[in-house]
Structure 1
């Protein structure tokens, strides 16, 4: 059955799902699939029921957006390719420290014959290609759940 997570309390590891049948189902963090580590309100899920509990909960990739999570891999990839030297894609993904490093290397790199700036642009181009070639679930697991900020 499909439904939407209405709320999830990370401290108690419990939550509530509204099923497509109009019923509400309680669940705990142990009922969520092992690779779906970031449970949050509003996520569409597929699940099984046992009495009034939801079990075997998996995220659903929506057809309209084709993505899991808050960040779109296409947006991140295009930002990396076209504005990556300024670290814009890092800021988009929530990696402020990495974004500041890229921005400073690009700006201050001109003092050193633009070599650091060129290196930053090559790194961002490679990252953009990597973002675009990953599947939606790989992108989500690597960059949103795993918080991998470089390559």
Structure 2
């Protein structure tokens, strides 16, 4: 059975949500903040795991001010590829693409793209290793409901 909606643990904070796309097999843990904008997508792929207190930002501001002393805001899409794992407390900045099967270490500040099948850690995040592309065997007994987990059915 394929889930029809992602598993999202409350609380989650989102500015607009208009262009946030989360695959139905994704998991978002508690305290996730998505600072999105109506002009740029935030896409979370299939089987992505997002740890607690992760921040995803798709809006930024100019370095200079206009004639009214205001900074111009801009939107820049953020893409998290299929099967990526984002560690607790990571921050993903505007314009970043995290490749499929990549891992972002807890507490990392992701300022640049991370290629598929790579591990990035630190502040700013740097690629430190690769991830194998082997596909693990499917578990024989998949628990999909709380009742199944508790054996109360």
TM-score by length of 2: 0.23
TM-score by length of 1: 0.23
Higher strand share: 2
Q: Which has the larger radius of gyration?
A: 1
Q: Work out which structure has the larger RCO, using CA pairs closer than 8 Å and 6 or more positions apart in sequence.
A: 1
Higher helix share: 1
